[in-house]
Structure 1
Amino acid sequence: MILSSLPSAGLWLSGATALVYAATALGAGAAGAGRAQRWLALAWLLHAWTLVLGLLEAPPRFGFAPALSMTAWLVLTVYVVESQIYPQLQARWPLAALGALTVLLPLAFPGAPLHPSASAWLPLHWALGLAAYGLLGAAVVHAALMSRAERLMRIGGGAPVGLPLLTLERITFRFVEAGFVLLTATLAAGFLFGEQIYGTSLARWKWDHKTVFSLLAWLTYAVLLAARARLGWRGRRAVQMIYAGAVFLLLGYAGSRFVLEVILRRSP
């Protein structure tokens, strides 16, 4: 979530990364699975290099676009690792398209410089939040694949993801559970150590848009996991809850920062 404005080398690297992502997305169907996987892995590595360059620049910056870029990279990290276990999993082209878009966003919206007096705990708090974003983003991708496979099965088509539906559902909820744990840790850190991180205390926890939407996301996933454990929720209802929680998360940080930075042109 912390990125600086990229130098000229970073500009070229971001452009090259977007081109490799775009080539992967456009050629995912025509290229063989192995070749497409290698191209996606290359784009993923270039994307990581872009993020590292941003982190090493001074002064560091943060905003909605760097947050989305890092989140997309984390989702791709999950996919790159998972595809080694399940090589038949097919989600390369939408993820490559997502990577191409998000790697370019920080060029136009680099965010605001990090204040020199910012707490040393702030990067840890953001790291927890980004990890939660990444895992829950991976859950959204798997939920979409699960919905598509279920829909094609109902009309008599083959499942395009190459995994049994129950296996895909089990993987999806593992990501939801892991993301929920990290989201809980992120909110707990903000609540318990808000004074050190943001200069706020427990008695006056900052009830802004980010806090409200993040809590709504937490409640959504808490209800989903509890209902799945006790009532056996699955299928379309569970997928809709996963999507709803992701929307709340998106509005919580990226959405509110977008409004401040782009629409209102204010530094948070």
Structure 2
Amino acid sequence: MALVVLEVLIAALAYAGATHAVWRHLADGRDYWRVTAFAAVGLLAQIVALIHLSLHSGMVVIGLGTALSMFAWQAALLLWLFSLRESVGALGLVIYPVAGLCAIAGLLVPDAHSATESLAWPLQLHILLSVLAYGLLTLGAVQAVVLALQHRQLRRRPPAGMFTSLPPLETMETLLFRLIGAGFFLLSMAIATGALFIDNLFAQHLAHKTILSLVAWLCFAVLLFGRWRYGWRGRLAVRGALAGYGLLMLAYFGSKLVLELILGEHW
């Protein structure tokens, strides 16, 4: 246990360092390599801690705490990979500190008895698609928040501070819809593969999760159609992205919170 605490502490400190490095990069134009280095240490320490937390006597145990940590880790990993090609530092101001906090949550929030052994490959594919979809849509939600702040800053006065280093609004909106489009495609595949494993929605405690996931999917579908057909942008794009993401988070973590910590059940 002491080793896991050390791993989580290293991850949290490294993510804090990455967040500070992002801020200095945006404010002063410092080299981005510091962000990449700090984030790499955080990612490595967090995944090692996750392995130690989720493996118990040959079984994989994924409760609320480890799910939060795993979810944040893969979002941070995607951001780190994207940043290797070009700086998308503004997203790091949110993603990296959240990843650090979720790493701590993985240690502190107790796991329920949601253990599985030797998952069939179709179910593994469903889980992989879900994780990737959640990660891309998380980046999309953070991008929507940054875009909203950028809109607000431009309406009030000329850009100042970190806002001067952000790309133009049109570029930011294009990135937002690319992230949502890719996440929507993976979410569609995840929902389609997940339907293969549903025998009884209520007996498997999947009713709320399934309904909210479908409503979130519909929200993203309407947003993407509106962008393609009517050129939706600005506040409408931001609100649509955040609404869909909120529903998606409620579908998974809201349901998992009620089932595991309140009812003592699991999927």
Residues 1-268 of structure 1 aligned to structure 2 (within 5 Å): 7-25=1-19, 28-29=22-23, 32-34=30-32, 35-54=34-53, 57=56, 58-87=58-87, 89-107=89-107, 108-116=109-117, 119-158=120-159, 159-160=163-164, 162-191=166-195, 193-194=196-197, 198=198, 200=199, 208-268=207-267
Give 1:26 shift. Answer: 5.2
Secondary structure of 2:158's aligned partner: coil
Label 1:184 to 1:10 Cα distance change in 2 as closer, same or farther (>3 A).
same
Give 1:111 shift. Answer: 4.0
Gapped regions of structure 2 (runs ≥ 5): none
- Tell me how many residue pairs correspond in the alignment: 256
2-side partners of 1:210 and 1:161: how far apart? 40
Identity %: 31
Q: Which moved more, 1:25-34 or 1:39-48?
A: 25-34
Secondary structure of 1:112's aligned partner: coil
Secondary structure of 1:110's aligned partner: coil
**Matched letter for residue 19 of structure 1:** L
1-side partners of 2:249 and 2:223: how far apart? 18
Label 1:43 to 1:19 Cα distance change in 2 as closer, same or farther (>3 A).
same
2-side partners of 1:253 and 1:136: how far apart? 14
Cα deviation digits, residues 206-256 of structure 1 (max 9, x gap): 761100110011000011111111111111111101101111111111110
2-side partners of 1:160 and 1:65: how far apart? 37
1-side partners of 2:139 and 2:70: how far apart? 13
1-side partners of 2:88 and 2:229: how far apart? 32
Label 1:265 to 1:130 Cα distance change in 2 as closer, same or farther (>3 A).
same
Give 1:11 shift. Answer: 2.8
Label 1:111 to 1:134 Cα distance change in 2 as closer, same or farther (>3 A).
farther
Conserved 8 A contact 2:129-2:186: yes
Cα deviation digits, residues 17-68 of structure 1 (max 9, x gap): 1122234435654584433442223212222333344455532111333222
Conserved 8 A contact 1:75-1:137: yes
Q: Which moved more, 1:39-48 or 1:233-242?
A: 39-48
2-side partners of 1:156 and 1:114: how far apart? 53
Give 1:175 shift. Answer: 0.9
TM-score if structure 2 supplies the norm length? 0.84
Q: Which moved more, 1:69-78 or 1:47-56?
A: 47-56
Conserved 8 A contact 1:180-1:221: yes
TM-score if structure 1 supplies the norm length? 0.84
2-side partners of 1:90 and 1:190: how far apart? 33
Conserved 8 A contact 1:66-1:110: yes
Give 1:77 shift. Answer: 1.8
Give 1:116 shift. Answer: 4.1
**Matched letter for residue 179 of structure 2:** F
The runs of 4+ residues in structure 1 deviating greater than 6 Å are: none
Cα deviation digits, residues 67-91 of structure 1 (max 9, x gap): 2222212221222122233326333
**Matched letter for residue 80 of structure 2:** V
Conserved 8 A contact 2:114-2:266: no
2-side partners of 1:133 and 1:28: how far apart? 23
Label 1:10 to 1:153 Cα distance change in 2 as closer, same or farther (>3 A).
same
**Matched letter for residue 79 of structure 2:** Y
1-side partners of 2:209 and 2:23: how far apart? 39
Secondary structure of 2:90's aligned partner: coil
Secondary structure of 1:60's aligned partner: strand
**Matched letter for residue 104 of structure 1:** I
Gapped regions of structure 1 (runs ≥ 5): 1-6
What is the CA RMSD across the aligned residues, in angstroms? 2.6
